[in-house]
Structure 1
Amino acid sequence: MNKTLSCIGMALFLLAAPSVMLLQAQESKYDYKEAFDPFFYTTNGNEYRTASGMPGPKYWQNAVDYKISARLNDQTNEITATVTLEYTNNSPDQLDFIWLQLDQNMFSKEGRGRLIVPLTKSRYGDARSDFDGGYDIKSVKFGTGKEAEHLITDTRMQVFLPEPLAPNGGKTTITIDYSYIVPTHGADRTGVLETQNGKIFAIAQWFPRVAVYDDILGWNVQPYTGPGEFYLEFGDYEVDITAPANHIVVLGGELLNPNEVYTAEQVKRLEQARKSDETVMIRSPQEVTLPDSRPQGKKELTWKFRLEKAHDVAWASSPAFVLDGAKIDLPSGKSALALSAYPVESHGGNAWERSTEYVKASVEFYSNLLMEYPYPVAVNVAADIGGMEYPAIVFCSYKSKAAGLWGVTDHEFGHIWFPMIVGSNERLHAWMDEGFNTFINDLSTAAFNGGEYYRPMGDANRLAQALTRPDLEPVMSTPQNMQERNIGILAYFKPGFGLTLLRNEILGPERFDRAFKAYLERWAYKHPTPDDFFRTIENVAGENLNWFWRGWFKYNWRFDQGIRNVVYADNDPKKGVLITIDNLEKLPMPVVVDITTKSGETHRVKLPVEIWERNTSWTFSFPSTEEVVAVQLDPDRVYPDHNPDNNRWEAQ
């Protein structure tokens, strides 16, 4: 049919009035057989993961609970600790050994992550640094007290079990005594900041953590080298932190003994903050240097915390903390406590004094949009870290202010939903947390304070120049397999823009929002794969999107539609106009065209992506009754067309 229409169009052109112009045909790279190949998925659904994107009737995942007692020496920057973990094997497999992650070993001189840091500037380390970190594992024992045979390889430790761990609920307990020196710059995720009133310790990846055993890869033993973040099992945490008495310790969890670690006045202010929608100062900038702003008479204090249903835990400690807080209102009627801890250098000038306001707004927005915030506190810590998230606590740059502080705070707390609730594999699929989070951040920023910091994403044609550069790796590369300079595009902006495009232009907000929320609800506190996401969106929204997943996520395909020709039917403007469009690059998209007639009226035509299922060009008719003076493809510039020069035709 399209071939016939093209022939008719050419014949009509030969008879057309001089005001109708044929544009020079361009060679197309488009292959509709490849773009719409129906075999996108490489596996069928099974009893663990269904073809519709849901966990299957026999879906399983293992679990681990932790008890940790740690002591911070703020003079030597050393943490000494004991962790006891109870591991539950819910898999159908018998396990002969357990793998644990030892992320701090990246910072030893022999660490793979250290050895692959380039001499040029890198977020993940300094190749010239003399620091030699890593764990000092003093003992590994089973619950019986028996020494455990173990083997340490870079950032992983394999613990060999004395007898196989039974499937479907078998349990084992392991206790590890260890210590390590906190790196000053720990791959921009953990570290030590010197301030005028003392050090700020941002402590993360600080204890041996059990690796995930799943139905996809078995043991996930990818080493930690910096770019890839985390993939961990869910469980409960009981944590005791002993620190110098002049320190304030904050952790992503419920503080169990506030009366023992705060002054009476601070306990009173904490309770006020729990009930206040406005920020309450718990320890003011003026009080930081006053001895009586900390309990007196002891050299150390032990802070006791509990965190439930999480896959990690982090904390911060400092004598320099200003502390404030406010109530977070949750949809169920419950509340949580927003806290901000920062040095006096970060206070003032539209900076960290607004942090708690930002935390409250961000958490409340996502709780209403997605799913209720699950933790008792939400803590924002000013540190020498660009931005990093952990359950119920995030680290943001102490230098941030205004839009920068809102943006990093909102982004890090958006991570509570992806990947703290939806526990995807960040080591392999960074886009499944960073990209999803970038997408929801745009919605949150538009809503915050009447759009105080909102800047629309802008011209997608221009964005396409960066998002689909030919030298980019595909989004579905692992972060370790991307050039470091490309991670911001491939893990954050390109998948985030892709979801915006899918929501606003391809599916529409109603269908997309329902499908996206279904994905979150289906996979909350579970471990989804990319296919689980793709299948859920398709099944709930009712749309075959393999062409989109393939071109935007699996491959780095470009998009370019162009107007080839515009001719009148029977050479008569009153009988309508025939418009031919080419798909010139490998990625197809729906078509949006504005047609402007001589009287100044503009008419919009929308065509579905299916016109490209078996065509590289498409001719359609528009029932005009007067001369057409302009035809514009993608008039709102919302599609990633990297070559907009061929998107417009004007009568001569």
Structure 2
Amino acid sequence: MFRNLLLAAGLATLTAGPLLAQNTNSGTDKFKQLDQELPTPNNYRTASGAPGVDYWQQRADYNIRVTLDDNKQSIKGSEDITYTNLSPDVLTYLWVQLDQNILDKNSITTSTQVGEVKDKMSFQAMEYLMRSDFDGGFKIESVAMKGGKALKHTINHTMMRVDLPQPLRPKQAVTFSIAWHYNINDQLKISERSGYEFFPDDKNYLYEIAQFYPRMAVYNDVRGWQHKQFLGSGEFTLPFGDYRVSITAPADHVVGATGVLQNPDQVLTATQRKRLAQARGAKKPVLIVTQMEAERAEQKRASGTKTWTYAAKNVRDFAWASSRKFIWDAMEIEQAGNPVLCMSYYPKEGNPLWGKYSTEVVAHTIKTYSKHTIDYEYPVAISVHGPVGGMEYPMICFNGGRPEKDGTYSADRKYGMISVIIHEVGHNFFPMIINSDERQWSWMDEGLNTFVQYLTEQEWERGYPSRRGEPKNIVEYMRTDKSLQTPIMTNSESVLQFGPNAYAKPATGLNILRETVMGRELFDHAFKTYAQRWAYKHPEPADFFRTMEDASGTDLDWFWRGWFYTTDHTDLSIEGVKWYTVDSKNPDIENAKRRELLNSSPQTLSQQRNLQDIKKTLVDEKPELKDFYNNYDPTATTDADKARYQKYVNSLSPEQQSRLNAGLHFYEVDLRNLGGLTMPIIVQMTYEDGKTELVNIPAEIWRKNNEHVTKVFITPKPVVSFSLDPYLETADTDLSNNSFPRKLAPSRFELYQQQQQAAPNPMQLQQTSQQNPPAGGGSSGGTN
């Protein structure tokens, strides 16, 4: 059967040697080095991808005082910023980020937002169109030198230039002060990265507060000041420094924040301090504020305020959360000898999911990320539950994922919550410690983090339903029209399909590198080297690309070029297979093969009908017409044949004789790259006896011809089929051309009846079945 299904089958005398197609690459050579695309190495950033001997970065230290107005939902604050110039340049002005101005009525984001009015719209969609009615931008009250002398400043949307009274020279520092206030947005109406949630049942607020203070922009060796406007997608680029932040909130609020609480005796009860001490040695979360205590605070409003003071060293940002609704739990883990207090703050609406999982997920994330990158060195790691889907800051993050009001939840809700906590806690490493430029390159933050998130999910539970990371999960995006895609190496504000492009595609690419291109040992060492080199520094894409190659000894320019700089996709095809065996010259063997071939050849339709219609041929009627050839058997072995064979064998060396009689099978496989993306070729051969063999051919097979290659496989036994990428390693977008002989790949469609309301989740169905047992009083069965 196999011979008939192949494009060509036959017997041939083969000469050993590789089959190399001539280079017929069209357009750009996919193996061309990235020298022109990457910046020239220098004393600041080396060709190996490591920081250079003259690498430098600026520093910004903050002393901040803010007050939360729980009646007006507003923030009032003042800060002292000490900015240290560690560059070789003289600075005559400084740039400060005013990211809260994205909510200014006249912001660029509001002015340039696009949308459409539909016949049927939700109130939330209408609120989005009307967001310009909310006045949420910074109101800058003063900018002055320490001591009170006003500083000239110019506000350009989300950036503010502060002109210095005298130039700031290298190794000098300057301290100046800013005072401001702003209105906090309702996150359910204006879904920004921070804001408040109002709970109408108990008339309380939950605040997740970030981007709440004017923040120093980054000045570095790559682009000078990073003062690209904040439009919404490109997140934050910030220098490191020490923070001391005093937060004044209602007296019955619980406040969690970046850093370590400096005044627990003033803001915590004796019971809370005792529980917090117990949590430091606990193996599972300890409740610092119980649900009963939080519910009591919701109903009984205390008067007055408290000021919570937090301090954090060597961080790039600061965020906090405040509410009288907070349940608070904590447990301590040890990471490389350092204690890390893992904590969660959440309202009762988050239970039972949050009490069961959140802090455990925080601890698991810190441990797993530390294994794959660098040891976590900060003293705390916090997860806060609110309406935001997920947002990250040093030591604290805001996460969604809420059960139904009856306490039940679907599997999607459970795993979605766990995944978002892993992802946001993971951002402590990318970019809070390995501090890439999010305003320019979202993928260096989101993509690298999503990749390690995938590794962490798989270590949480075997068979974890990860949304991103597996190559098969990116196929749908990769096969979309190229006009709807942008290369990964696109500025954050210009990326199309942000989730697939900035999160999924780079994460999947790294997984392909780890599993298929480099192998885990080489990849893990290189990835960890990158994290170690650039911890608490400002890496650029070239630093990542170069380090991965330098630490692994692997040329990956072809991979970066294809996966990061183009919108090509993987579609490798087996165009055809030719099967050859060696002509042994042995007449007994070869004549037997010919006899088998002749006997197995089917009769044509004409031959079959002639047997029925022609009763006798002329030669049947007149036997005297027969001669030598009527009785000749071309497959019979003669003495002359044996003599010629023996003479031929005697002319061969012993090694040649063994080759001749080895019974090897030669398969010439014709391969084509239809998608344009260069990838290794993973070939699975299935033998006649049912056993399989997997061959991984490096991507360099395409270096002579980026589009078409022919590969010869030599096997000791017959192959009945060839298939490409059997374990879905390369995100191949068309599996129908991956097999030879071709296999039919079934597609499925689903019939459904349109529903007007969401179907109950499995937990609700189980509860319903227990409440309503079958008629007759019998048991409905046990629960799983």
Instruction: Confirm or deny: 8 A CA contact 2:93 2:162 kept in the other structure.
Output: yes
CA–CA distance in structure 2, aligned partners of residues 522 and 579 of structure 1: 44
* Structure with more relative contact order (C-alpha pairs < 8 Å, separation 6 or more): 1
Structural mapping, 1:482-493, within 5 Å: 482-483=495-496, 486-493=497-504
| Alignment pair present for 1:342 and 2:310 | no
* 1:364, distance to aligned residue in structure 2 (A): 2.0
SS of residue in 2 equivalent to 1:576:
strand
Deviation larger for 43-52 or 32-41 = 32-41
When the two chains are superposed, the root-mean-square deviation of aligned CA atoms in Å is 2.5
Name the counterpart of 1:35: 30
User: 1:44: Cα distance to partner?
Assistant: 2.1
1:414 aligns with 2:418: no
Tell me the amino acid that sits aligned with residue 253 of structure 2: H
Residue 350 of structure 2 aligns to which amino acid in structure 1?
Answer: S
Measured against aligned partners, the alpha-carbon deviations of 1:62-101 in whole angstroms (never above 9, x if no partner) come to: 1000000111110001111111000011111100100000
Alignment of 1:263-282 (within 5 A): 263-282=269-288
Give the whole-Å Cα distance in 2 for the aligned partners of 1:292 and 1:415: 32
Counterpart selection for 1:138 from 111, 136, 141? 141
| Residue 654 of structure 2 corresponds to residue 597 of structure 1 | no
CA distance in 2, matches of 1:520, 1:651: 45
Once the two structures are TM-superposed, the CA of residue 417 in structure 1 deviates from its matched residue by 0.5
Partner of 2:512: 501
Name stretches of at least 5 consecutive residues in structure 1 with no aligned partner. 1-11, 18-27
CA shift for structure 1 position 337:
1.1
Alignment correspondent of 2:255:
249
| In 2, Cα distance between equivalents of 1:452 and 1:563 | 31
Aligned partners of 2:436 and 2:539 also within 8 Å: yes
Matches within 5 A, 1:136-215: 136-167=139-170, 169-185=171-187, 187-195=191-199, 196-197=201-202, 198-215=204-221
Cα distance in 2 between the residues matched to 1:79 and 1:495: 38
CA distance, structure 2, for counterparts of residue 178 and residue 341 of structure 1: 28
Per-residue deviation, 1:605:
2.2
1:323 is matched with which residue? 328
Cα distance, 1:33 vs. partner? Answer: 4.8
Task: Name the residue aligned to 1:391.
Answer: 394
Paired letter, 1:328: I
After superposition, the C-alpha distances for 1:342-380 in whole angstroms (9 at most, x for unaligned) are 1111112x3444211111121122223322222221111
Deviates more, 1:377-386 or 1:621-630: 621-630
1:117–1:124: 8 Å Cα contact kept in structure 2? Answer: no
Determine if the alignment matches structure 1 residue 624 to structure 2 residue 620. no
SS of residue in 1 equivalent to 2:230 = coil
Displacement of 1:328 after TM fit?
2.2
Paired letter, 1:369:
H
- Counterpart secondary structure, 1:492: helix
The answer to whether the Cα contact below 8 Å between 1:31 and 1:586 also exists between their aligned partners in 2 is no
Change beyond 3 A, Cα 1:293–1:416: farther
> Are the counterparts in 2 of residues 462 and 642 from structure 1 also a CA contact under 8 Å?
no
How far off is 1:145 after superposition?
Answer: 2.1
Q: Which residue in 2 is equivalent to 1:128? A: 130
**What TM-score, normalized by structure 1, do the two folds share?**
0.91
Q: Secondary structure at the match of 2:271?
A: helix
How many Å apart are 1:650 and its aligned residue? 2.1
Report if aligned partners of 2:469, 2:507 keep a CA contact under 8 Å in 1.
no
> Which residue is 2:447 aligned to?
435
CA distance in 2, matches of 1:370, 1:90: 27
> AA paired with 2:156?
T
Which residue of the other structure, out of 489, 492, 500, is the alignment partner of 1:479?
492
State the AA in 2 paired with 1:237.
Y
Confirm or deny: 8 A CA contact 2:469 2:508 kept in the other structure: no
Match of 2:456 in 1: 444
1:259 corresponds to which residue?
265
More strand by share: 1
Residues in 1 aligned to 2:28 and 2:180: alpha-carbon distance in whole angstroms: 57
Counterparts of 1:413 and 1:255 in 2: how far apart (Å)? Answer: 19
Q: Which amino acid aligns with 1:363?
A: I
Question: Which of 507, 514, 531 pairs up with 2:525?
Answer: 514
CA distance in 2 between partners of 1:591 and 1:246 (Å): 63
SS at match of 2:499: helix
- Structure 1 residues 461 and 407, CA gap change in structure 2 (3 angstroms): closer
SS in 2 for 1:596: strand
Q: Could you tell me how far 1:127 is from its partner in structure 2? A: 2.8
Q: Structure 1's 590 and 291: CA in aligned 2 closer, same or farther, altered over 3 A?
A: closer
The 1-side partners of 2:682 and 2:297 are apart by: 67
Code of the aligned partner of 2:110: R
What is the match of residue 8 of structure 1?
none
Q: Aligned equivalents of 2:558 and 2:306: distance in 1?
A: 58
2:312 pairs with 1:307: yes
Letter in 2 for 1:546: D
Say which of 16, 22, 39 aligns to 2:10: 16
Aligned partner letter, 1:502: L
Secondary structure at 2:342 match in 1:
strand
Aligned length: 624
1:609 shift after superposition: 1.2
User: Could you tell me which amino acid in structure 1 is paired with residue 511 of structure 2?
Assistant: T
1:248: how far off? 0.8
- Contact 2:255 2:322 survives alignment (8 Å): yes
Q: Which residue of 2 aligns with 1:641?
A: 732
Q: Distance in 2 between matches of 1:452 and 1:264?
A: 44
Q: Tell me what 1:55 maps to.
A: 51
Q: Against the structure 1 CA distance between its residues 457 and 422, is the aligned structure 2 distance closer, same or farther, given a 3 Å change threshold? A: closer
Equivalent in the alignment of 1:6: none
State the Cα deviation string for residues 492-540 of structure 1 (Å, max 9, x = none).
0000000000010000000000000010110011111100000000111
Letter in 2 for 1:433: D
Q: Which amino acid is 1:337 matched to?
A: L
Structure 2 distance, partners of 1:429, 1:356, is 30
- Cα distance in structure 1, aligned partners of 2:344 and 2:364: 13
Question: For 2:255 and 2:477, how far apart are their aligned partners in 1?
Answer: 42
Counterpart secondary structure, 2:432: helix
C-alpha distance in 1 between matches for 2:468 and 2:538: 31
- Alpha-carbon distance, 1:564 to partner: 2.0
User: Is the alpha carbon distance of 1:347 and 1:216 closer, same or farther for their aligned partners in structure 2, counting shifts above 3 Å?
Assistant: same
Question: What's the secondary structure of 1:630's corresponding residue?
Answer: strand
Distance 2:245 2:456 in 1: 33
CA distance in 2, matches of 1:230, 1:176: 20
SS of equivalent to 1:199: strand
Q: State the secondary structure of the residue aligned to 1:569.
A: strand
**Counterpart of 1:416 in 2: which secondary structure?**
coil
Once the 2 structures are TM-superposed, how far is the Cα of residue 382 of structure 1 from its aligned partner? Answer: 1.0
